[in-house]
Amino acid sequence: MAVIVAVVVTAIVGILGAGALLLDRRPPAPAGEQNGMNRHLAVAAILWVIFTALSLAGAVAMDPFPTGAAPEAAFSDHAFRLMTYMGAPILGLVLAGLVYSVLTFRSVGGADAEDGPPMKGTGMVPKVWLGATTALAVTVMVSPGLTGLAEMRADRTSDMTIKMTGQRWSWTADYPGGITSDELVLPVNKRVKFEVTAPEGDVLHSFWVPAFRNKIDAVPGMTTVTYITPNRIGDGKDDVAYRVQCAELCGLMHARMAMNVRVVDAAEYDKWLAGKVKK
Amino acid sequence: MPLLLGFIFGGVGFAVGAGLLGAIRTSMGLEFWSTDMSWSIAYPVALLGWLAGVGGWKYWATEWFGGTPAVSPKGVSRYFEFNMDHKVIGIQYGVTFVALFLLSGLTAMAIRYELMHPGMQLFNEDQYNAAMSFHGIGMVAVAVAIVMGCFGNYVVPIMIGARDMAFPRINALSFWLVPPVAITLVIAVLLGGWDTGWTAYPPLSVLTKSGQTLFNLAVTTFGVVSILGGINFIVTIIYERAPGMTWGRLPIMVWGTFAGSIIAFFFTQGFAAGLLMVLFDRVIGTSFFGAAHGGSALLYEHVFWFYSHPAVYVMVLPAFGAVLEVLSHMSRKPLYAYKWVVGAMLGIVALSGVVWAHHMFTSGMADYLHAPFLVLTEMISIPTGIIFLSVLGTIWAGRLWVRTPMLFALAFIFNFTIGGLTGIYLADMPTDVHLHDTYFVVAHFHYTIMGGEIFALFAALYYWFPKMTGREFNETLGKIHFFIMFIGFQLTFIPMFQVGVRGMNRRIADFPAAYEGANVWISMSGFLLGISFIFFTVNMILSWVRGRQAAANPWGASTLEWQISSPPPEHNFDEIPVIQEGPYEYGVPGATPHARLTGAVKHA
Ligand SMILES: [Cu+2]
Ligand SMILES: [Cu+2]
């Protein structure tokens, strides 16, 4: 992720910027001749590589993700990383352009300062740029965009169905066989279909478990559907990512509209279920 | 004095409206007062009273009924009443919205204090929701209106060589609708607030307490402000250009304002309609959004985002214009790829209307809508990329004069890059289903709106301050403001990306203890960010009151507003100027000046 990178980069920009101000009186760098310009471009290109490498190194070194407890989570994190890798060179390019220009093309200014070269961008550069950015945009659209979307939708089978109802300000999980719970207990490696809704006369809520990287709104009068296959045992008491958190502003106690999530092995699940039936 | 009259007439109007309704209700055997209904009826009457009191009668309406309109005073007092001079209105907008910005910013400080630790510190949950909601709508209003309202009004007519806006009275009217919006929102908070943020999603907004009614009334009024302003800019820019000011010679700030105005004019009506429908559901028992009687909550989300996504570009297109303006003049180079930029701006206008449902990927809307909105949304990065090309091409090999406006303009580019890149995560389904409604989103839109538009606002503010006030600002204080704001901003919002990915959702009064470390850091940095505005405020007040007399053209810039005195004379130009060349002919050998002010008399 870009967090560390951006902090580092910010520091660099800050320091360079402050330096630029301290050196405000320096005369402008000679520019204009063609070989001078090529040298500028070469140095800026090196800066671009450095800034991009910094961003990528940070992205690899840093892992912002909470516990992932489903293949859906791994899939989302993969897409996240992919976009970070594609974004790094763009951030690097803009930074290189900004930082290099501020450092090199500074002038003492004044109302009647010397003019720069009259580059109007009427030649090939904008066309090439347009082609490149379009190609990039189309790439992101296709992957992870459209292919990701298709993959998210591919598997609509499930081993069990749980109905989640959000009401101000709590969640209810309805298991098959008329079992109702105020804790979401899931057997590991079983594909679960969630049917999410809110009572008529209630408001919007959103069903979200950070460990599953999945979210769907609970809309009064509607049933929305999402699928998850939990694949890692865990308990919200030890790991905050295992919680159902309402993620759509629903009024007074919105912040507290959460439910504990436990992913357990088959034996423990059966035991829990049996205990529920007895009650 | 007219202000006082405005309050009195407004109060009388409120009493008349509420009284009439009460009388009718009593005659029907109902209670005299019914909060939501009484407010909804009394509010528009109060609004009329206010408008009449602040000068709408004295300077305008009386003429229609055969009276003689009063003559506006010359001194400072003209800023406190109905005035039709676009320069007065520009300053009125600027000061009003800077005040609202500081107030909403103070609210943010309180929010950050509350969110520093788990548990409740300063607020209870209800007060938190009210503070969060006020901060949201306050800042959205500032962002939508301040660049166009202040600089669009002040600078654009001069830039195109006009003596005023096309509809000066409408212009004054639309400004004077702003104070009631702000006052009503503050009153709503004092009466207990509302708890639906700035988005006002039903069914909650239909079911919640009465502060919501005041919100809907105020924000609908604000929609009217935006629509009237939009029409006025469109007509002004089409019809009031000086001879020779062809579309290809328009300064880019004018293009940005034009593009933003098209969106404001076209889409704001969706938002206003949505808010009125909520109001009807609340007050007169319709059921647009209640599932129990056949309504649909998703309907509102569509109507709301149909405006509120384009609204981002109402904020940012004039900001692009202002930043590119500053970059070109202060790099002393032509604006790179000018015509491409114009095309990109218009492309953004076109695309802005067909991307709204990217806010609804987790809403439960029909599956087949996901793919087209994903593709269309990511297409916006193509015209936006052109803007970045222009930025880099303009500063490259220039003679960069790194003064305060330039620093803000350059920072805008950095921030908006991060804002734009993180937007892609939210446009893509696999990541958005996790990130939607988390602090990742909070960080993202603060990078685009605050890091983008508000940094652009300060670039514009420092750049045109000498022109508008006739005074120089203090450069050292300006740079201190910039560096504290820039660093504080990064330190505050970058960790929000991270804490959002880790699972902290937004709009919450409290959070699990696991996120405490990050929130302490964010709050501390937030306070640093807040401190920067002390330097800003002190600088603005001191410089305006006792700054050195500014020269007519302290930046040596080529556009028209710098060719007349600072501040400009009452009707801007003694003779309408003739435009003979593009506005950015820096370094072009033998270029004729942008404009010829034939025989213009110099004002001191
Ligand atoms: Cu909820
Ligand atoms: Cu949007």
pLDDT in tens, B329-379: 999 999 999 999 999 999 999 999 999 999 999 998 988 899 999 999 999
pLDDT of residue B601: 43
Same domain, B40 and B131: no
Q: Residue A116 domain-assigned?
A: no
Answer whether residue A6 shows pLDDT above 80.
Answer: no
B429 CB neighbours in chain A (<8 A) are: 145, 148-149, 152
- Please give the tally of structural domains in chain B: 2
B172 with B101, same domain?
yes
> With 70 as the cut, is the pLDDT of residue A11 above it?
no
B482, two tokens: 């910039």
In terms of C-beta density within 10 A (0-12 exposed, 13-18 middle, 19 or more buried), how is residue B569 classed?
middle
Question: Rounded to the nearest 10 degrees, how much is the dihedral formed by the CA atoms of A49, A50, A51, A54?
Answer: 120
- B558 in any annotated domain: yes
One domain, residues A31 and A136: yes
For residue A201, give how far its alpha carbon lies from the nearest alpha carbon of chain B (Å): 6
pLDDT at A140: 86
Task: Check: CB of residue B41 under 8 Å from CB of residue B20.
Answer: yes
B141 and B54 both lie in a single domain: no
Q: How far apart are CA B288 and CA B354, in angstroms?
A: 23
- Note whether B195 contacts A117, CB cutoff 8 Å: no
Note whether A176 and A49 are same-domain residues.
no
Q: Are residues B22 and B98 in the same domain?
A: no
SS3 A276: helix
Range of the domain at A243: 160-278
Residue range A160-180: average pLDDT? 94
Burial of A182 (0-12, 13-18, 19+ CB in 10 A): exposed
Q: Which ligand is nearest to the CA of A245?
A: 1
Q: Is residue B594 part of a domain?
A: no
Asked if residue A72 belongs to a domain, the reply is: yes
Closest CB to B375 among A20, A24, A141? A141
Give the containing element (helix H, strand E) for B529. helix B516-546
User: Are B301 and B188 within one domain?
Assistant: yes
Cβ contact (<8 Å) for B494 and A208?
Answer: no
Same-domain status, A140 and A9: yes
- CA B188 to CA B209: how far, in whole Å? 11
- Please indicate if any CB of chain B lies within 8 Å of the CB of A245: yes
CA torsion B380-B229-B255-B451 (nearest 10°) is -50
A243 contacts B512? CB cut-off 8 A: yes
Please give the pLDDT value at position A16: 52
Host H or E run for residue A137: helix A125-140
Q: Are residues A138 and A264 in the same domain?
A: no
B276 CB-contact burial (10 Å; exposed 0-12 / middle 13-18 / buried 19+): middle
The number of folded domains in chain A is 2
Let me know if residue A111 belongs to a domain: no
Same structural domain for residues B327 and B203?
yes
A118 located within any domain:
no
- In three-state secondary structure terms, B232 is helix
Distance, CA of B317 to CA of B313 (rounded, Å)? 5
Return the beta strands (E) in B267-381 as ranges.
none
So what's the ipTM on this one? 0.90
The reply to whether B43 and B143 lie within a common domain is no
The shortest C-alpha distance from B388 to chain A (Å) reads 8
Clarify whether residues A98 and A227 are in a common domain.
no
Residue among A223, A248, A216 nearest B370 (CA): A216
Name the token pair of B99. 């005040």
Let me know if residue B537 belongs to a domain: yes
**Average pLDDT along chain B:** 93
Q: For position A148, what pLDDT does the model report? A: 87
Judged by CB atoms closer than 8 Å, whether chains meet at B400 and A107 is answered as: yes
**Residue B291 Cα, gap to closest chain A Cα (Å):** 5
For A140, residues 6+ apart whose C-beta sits below 8 A from its C-beta are A83, A86, B378, B381, B424, B428
Same domain? For A64 and A100 the reply is yes
CB within 8 Å: A120 and B428: no
The candidate with the shortest Cα–Cα distance to A108, out of A43, A19, A16, A29, is A29
The reply to whether A75 touches chain B by the CB within 8 Å rule is: yes
Q: What whole-number distance in Å separates Cα of residue B490 and Cα of residue B487?
A: 5
Residues B403 and B286 in one domain: yes
CA dihedral B502, B505, B508, B513 (to 10 degrees): -20
Closest CA to B353 of B212, B259, B432, B235: B259
Position B36 scores a pLDDT of 92
Q: How far apart are CA B89 and CA B68, in angstroms?
A: 23
* pLDDT band for position A12 (cuts 50, 70, 90): low
- Check CB contact under 8 Å for B397 and A105: yes
In a domain, B590, yes or no: no
Contact present, A219 and B201 (Cβ < 8 Å):
no
Q: Does some domain include residue B485? A: yes
Which two tokens mark A80? Answer: 């996240």
Q: Which residues contact B102 (CB under 8 A, 6 or more apart)?
A: B533, B537
Asked if residue B139 lies in contact with residue B130, where contact means CB atoms within 8 angstroms, the answer is: no
Total beta-carbon pairs less than 8 A apart between chain A and chain B:
337
B392: which chain A residues are within 8 Å (Cβ-Cβ)?
93-94, 97-98, 101
Q: Give the CATH number for residue A198.
A: 2.60.40.420
Q: What is the pLDDT of residue A115?
A: 87
pLDDT for A34: 63
Domain boundary among A152, A173, A191: A152
Q: Which residues of B touch A107 (CB under 8 A)?
A: 332, 399-401
The CATH number of the domain holding residue B484 is 1.20.210.10
Residue A31 reports pLDDT greater than 70: no
Q: Diameter of chain B by CA atoms? A: 83
Q: Is residue B546 part of a domain?
A: yes
Whether residue B250 sits in one domain with residue B342: yes
A31 and A54 assigned to the same domain: yes
Residue among B530, B536, B579 nearest B558 (CA): B579
pLDDT at position A61 is 72
Cβ neighbours around B68 below 10 Å, total: 8
- Predicted local distance difference test score (pLDDT) of residue B483: 96
SS3 A165: strand
If pLDDT is split at 50, 70 and 90, which confidence band does A3 have?
very low
Residue A114, domain member (yes or no): no
The DSSP result for A232-271, as a single string, is S-EETTT-TTSEEEE-S--STTGGG-EEEEEEE-HHHHHH
Q: What is the mean pLDDT of each run of 10 residues along chain B (604 residues)?
A: 91 95 94 93 95 92 90 88 94 96 96 94 93 96 94 96 94 95 95 93 92 95 95 96 94 96 92 93 91 87 92 94 96 94 96 92 90 91 94 92 95 94 91 95 96 95 95 95 96 93 94 94 96 96 93 92 92 90 90 78 42
CA distance B118 to chain A (A): 11
Note the pLDDT of residue B450: 95
CB pair distance less than 8 Å for A204 and B393: no
- Does A252 share its domain with A148? no
Same domain, A143 and A197: no
Note down the domain range covering B7.
1-59
**Separation CA B529–CA B489 (nearest Å):** 6
A7 touches chain B (CB under 8 A): yes
Q: Do A97 and B554 touch (CB under 8 A)?
A: no
Between B199 and A22, the more confident residue is B199
A233 domain-assigned: yes
| Structural domain includes residue A117 | no
3-class DSSP assignment, residue A218? strand
Q: Is residue B187 part of a domain?
A: yes
Residues A133 and A40 placed together within one structural domain of the fold:
yes
Same domain, residue pair A192 and A93: no
Quote the ligand 1 centre to A209 CA distance (angstroms).
13
Q: Are A82 and A65 contained in the same domain? A: yes
Distance (Å, rounded) from C-alpha B388 to C-alpha B410? 11
Contact A220 B297 (CB under 8 A): yes
Residue B159 shares a structural domain with residue B239: yes
Q: What number of helices (H) and strands (E) belong to chain A?
A: 6, 12
8 Å CB contact of A216 and B364:
yes
Best mutation target, A152, A194, A204, A223, to test chain B (most B CBs within 10 A): A204
User: Cis bond leading into B203, ω under 30°?
Assistant: yes
The answer to whether residues B382 and B471 belong to one domain is yes
In which residue are the tokens 């929305």 written?
A: A224
What would the pLDDT profile of A58-68 be if each residue is shown by its tens digit?
Answer: 777 767 899 99
Q: Which residues of A touch B126 (CB under 8 A)?
A: 252
What b/e string do you get for B500-536 counting C-beta neighbours within 10 Å, with b at 16 or more? bbbbbbbbbbbbbebbeebbebbbebbebbbebbebb
Q: What is the pLDDT of residue B73?
A: 86
Identity of the residue in B195, B379, B382 whose CB atom sits nearest the CB atom of A251: B195
A74 part of a folded domain? yes
Which chain B residue's Cα is nearest to A80? B431
Cβ contact A121–B502 (<8 Å): no
The answer to whether residue B282 is domain-embedded is: yes
Return the closest-CA partner of residue A253 out of B125, B515, B205, B132: B125
**Local structure of residue A34 (DSSP, 8 states):** H
Considering the domain architecture, whether residues B154 and B55 belong to the same structural domain is answered as no
| Total count of residues recorded for chain B | 604
